[in-house]
Amino acid sequence: MTNEVITVSTTVDAPADTVFAVLADPTKHAAIDGTGWVRESLDGQPLNQAGQIFRIAMYHDNHPDGDYEMANRVEVFEPPRAIAWQPGQDGPDGDIGYGGWFWRYDLTSVAADQTQVTLTYDWSAVPQQTREHIQFPPFPLAHLENSLTHLASLAVAR
């Protein structure tokens, strides 16, 4: 762990294709989330390419409105090895502004029915102006570990 990147790993008792399919389904992201902030997919469409935007309804007690929306841009889409996205929000001009942090999952087959999953949260590109309003990381390490536990449960049940 560095000052601006957190990485956690686990082994999931499911094939990499299955784990990747869960991650590529934004309707599952609320169930994966370890923070409790993710509410639901607003698009309901599976992820299928880099550059794709998917919207998620969120809630956080410290957000001025409580409820808010994130517009996530898929940065990496390499089935079944890696998937990553960068969260952003719509600006007043309709353009999406990205905060400089991203989520990445790397999957490595350990056996036919086991996958090593590494989750990385990276906020190294967050501008100083944003850091003045949001403490990074905005959650403890346990939230990432919980996310991997939730992901494993979903993948095994699939």
Question: Domain spanning 5-157: which CATH class is it, in words?
Answer: alpha beta
pLDDT at residue 146, as a whole number: 93
Q: CA 102 to CA 85: how far, in whole Å?
A: 6
**Alpha carbon distance 150, 154 (integer Å):** 6
pLDDT (average), residues 12-16:
98
pLDDT of residue 64: 65
Q: Which pLDDT does position 34 carry in this prediction?
A: 75
Helix (H, G, I), strand (E, B) or coil at 148: helix
Pick left, alpha or beta for residue 22 (phi over 0 → left; psi -120 to 50 → alpha; otherwise beta).
alpha
Q: What is the pLDDT of residues 87-146, one digit of tens each?
A: 999 989 989 999 999 999 999 999 889 999 999 999 999 999 989 988 899 888 999 999
Report the pLDDT value the prediction gives residue 2, as an integer from 0 to 100. 52
Is 151 within 8 Å of 24 (Cβ atoms)? no
Q: What is the mean pLDDT of residues 145-154?
A: 96
CA triple 95-29-2, angle to 5 deg: 80
pLDDT at 1: 44
The full set of domain ranges for the chain reads: 5-157
Q: How does pLDDT run across 53-100, given as a tens digit for each residue?
A: 999 988 887 666 767 788 999 999 999 999 999 999 998 998 999 999
